[in-house]
Structure 1
C-alpha cells in the first residue's frame, strides 16, 4: 500500500483516543518546577535564563499595561518552541502542523488585543483603520482594505506557523526517502544526500525556534498598537 507523505501530519489515535492531547501535555511535564532556592540545578537555571531573556526582548518596548501579558506570552513561546522541537524527533507528532490548533491559539489572543484596544483607547484603535491625511475619495476603500487586513492577521499567524513547519517536515521526509532509495544504487550520492539531510535538520531546529518567536513577537506588536 502506498502511503502519502502527508500521512505524517494526521493526528494519530490509540484505542480511538487522539494522541494530540498527550503531545500537548508532554512539554509541561518536561520543564522542571522552579523552587525558592537561589541556586537550582543546571536545567532550571538554563530555563530561567532563557525565559528572562525572551521576556526582556519581547516586552521592553511595551508599557505597564502590555507587560501584564508577559506571563501568558512567555509561557506560549516556551510551549510552542518545545512542541516544534519535539516534533523533529523520530516517531513523534507535531501538533503545531495542524492549522486548527494554530488558529485556536492565534484567534483568541489576537481578538484579546483588539478588544483591549477598543476598551482602553477606542479612538486610537479605530484610527488605525484610516491614516491621517487620507484624501476624501479614498476613505471608503481604504477603510475596507484596512479592516480586511485587520481580520487577516490571525489567519496569517496560524498559516505562517503551519506552512513553515509542514514544508520543513515534508522536505526532510523527501530527502530521507531519496537517501534510502539511492543507497543500494549510488552509495556516494546517498551519502551526500544524507549530509544534506543532517544540515536540513539543523536548519529545521532553527526554524522551530524562530517560528515560535515570530508568532509571539507579532502578537506583542499587535498588543503594542492597542495599548
Structure 2
C-alpha cells in the first residue's frame, strides 16, 4: 500500500527497469502492425476511421496553408491519447500529469504557430494585439494585456492538461482506498463506493480522451489565427 498519496505519480520500476517506455511501445506496436491480407482486420479498420475522423475535425477550421501541419497535430493527439489512457492501467505512470512534460509539448508548438504568423502575415498577427476601435488612452494597457495573454497560452495549455488528469487520478486513488477499507470493515456498504469507483473510472477514460483532443484543438485554433 502506498504511504503517500502522490506516490502514484512516480515512475514504476521492475527489476530496476522503468515500465513506462515498455508501456508506450504497446500502442505503436498495435497501430503499425503489418498484414499480408487483402482486407484489413477490424482493429486496423477502426484505427484508420478514427485517424480520418480526427484529421477531418481538426483540419476543417484551419485555412488551407495550415493543412501542412496535419501530420504533426495528428501525431501529437495520438501521443497524448496513448499516454493519458495507458496511465490508467496498473503499474504504469502518466507523464502528462507532469507540468514540465506538458509545457515542453505546448511551448514549441505554440512558438512555431506564432513564428509562422510573423513570417507569413506580420501585419495581421501584430493586429491581434490591439482590438479594432480601441480608444487612444487605452492602447498601451490593451497591448500589454494582449501580449501577456499571448505569452500565457502555452502555460495555460500545460496547466489545463495537468490539472484535469492529476485531479482525476487523485480522486480515483481516494475512492479506491475507501473501497478497499470498507470491503473488510463494512462489507454491506462496500458496493456503493465500488459503484462510484466504476463510474469514476469511466469518467476518467472520457477525460483522458477529451483532454488530448482539447489540447490539440486549441493548438489548431492558434494555428488558424496565424495562417
* TM-score, normalisation: structure 1: 0.93
State the 1:2 CA deviation: 6.6
- In the other structure, the counterpart of 2:9 is 9
Runs of at least 5 residues in structure 2 that lack an aligned partner in the other structure: none
Runs of at least 5 residues in structure 1 that lack an aligned partner in the other structure: none
Distance 1:220 1:37 in 2: 36
CA spacing shift, 1:167–1:226, aligned 2, 3 Å: same
Contact 1:34 1:44 in 2 (8 A): no
Distance 1:32 1:178 in 2: 40
Give the alignment of 1:138-157 within 5 angstroms. Answer: 138-157=138-157
CA spacing shift, 1:18–1:99, aligned 2, 3 Å: farther
Distance 2:36 2:142 in 1: 54
- In the other structure, the counterpart of 2:165 is 165
CA spacing shift, 1:176–1:58, aligned 2, 3 Å: same
1:178 aligns with 2:178: yes
- In the other structure, the counterpart of 1:58 is 58
1:95-141 Cα shifts (integer Å, max 9, x gaps): 11111111111000000000000000010001100001101111111
- In the other structure, the counterpart of 1:79 is 79
The range that moved more, 153-162 or 185-194, is 185-194
Distance 1:53 1:37 in 2: 24
* Partner SS for 2:91: coil
State the 1:38 CA deviation: 6.5
Distance 1:31 1:145 in 2: 44
CA spacing shift, 1:125–1:104, aligned 2, 3 Å: same
* Partner SS for 1:184: helix
State the 1:92 CA deviation: 1.3
1:142-201 Cα shifts (integer Å, max 9, x gaps): 111111111110001111111111110100010000011112222232210000000000
* Partner SS for 2:189: helix
* Partner SS for 1:61: coil
